[in-house]
């Protein structure tokens, strides 16, 4: 009774199961079209709401001295008159809930999509 733990057919079956699971898991992440919307707030009031899927080329907006570039991929703050430039170093906003804030100029740029953002951590 010399039987192997896995036969050739068991290995093939496991490979097929893992491939199907991978396709089911990753398919929506790569091929789902999220409707990205950029919301720009100044002095806590919504000033602009831009649908990124409608943009053919990057567009710049200036609000309270802050220059914001919005493209089909996302948004970012290009320049700001504030001294620290933290909002500029925030980089491009691409995911749901990504936010860049220029506190001295009272400008907030927020990315929203229809998908819910997964939690990074829960602190008690």
Encoded tokens for 84: 């620290």
Tell me the CA distances in angstroms from 88 to 5, 22, 26, 92, one per residue in order. Answer: 58, 37, 32, 9
Give the pLDDT band of residue 24 (cuts 50, 70, 90): confident
Kindly tell me if the per-residue pLDDT of 50 is higher than 60.
Answer: yes
Kindly tell me if the per-residue pLDDT of 6 is higher than 60.
Answer: yes
More confident residue, 44 or 17: 17
Query: Would residue 25 count as lying in a domain?
Result: no
pTM listed for this prediction: 0.66
CB 76 within 8 A of CB 67: no
Q: What is the pLDDT of residue 100?
A: 93
What's the rounded Cα separation, in Å, for the pair 81 and 124? 38
How many domains does the chain contain in total? 1
More confident residue, 95 or 1: 95
What's the rounded Cα separation, in Å, for the pair 101 and 104? 9
Query: Would residue 52 count as lying in a domain?
Result: yes
Of 16-25, 29-38, 55-64, which gets the smallest average pLDDT? 29-38
Here the CATH number for the domain that contains residue 91 is: 2.60.320.10
Q: What is the pLDDT of residue 5?
A: 74
- Residue 77 belongs to domain spanning: 37-112
Q: What is the mean pLDDT of residues 18-41?
A: 83
Query: Would residue 54 count as lying in a domain?
Result: yes
Query: Would residue 65 count as lying in a domain?
Result: yes
Give the pLDDT band of residue 96 (cuts 50, 70, 90): confident
């Amino acid at each position: 009774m010399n039987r192997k733990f896995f036969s050739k057919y068991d290995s093939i079956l496991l490979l097929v199961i893992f491939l199907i699971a991978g396709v089911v898991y990753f398919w929506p992440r790569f091929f789902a079209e999220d409707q990205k919307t950029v919301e720009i707030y100044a002095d806590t009031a919504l000033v602009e709401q831009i649908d990124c899927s409608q943009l053919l080329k990057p567009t710049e907006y200036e609000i309270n001295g802050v220059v914001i570039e919005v493209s089909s991929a996302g948004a970012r703050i290009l320049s700001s008159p504030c001294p620290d430039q933290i909002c500029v170093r925030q980089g491009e906003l691409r995911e749901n809930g990504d936010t860049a804030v220029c506190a001295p100029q009272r400008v907030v740029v927020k990315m929203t999509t229809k998908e819910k953002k997964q939690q990074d951590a829960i602190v008690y």
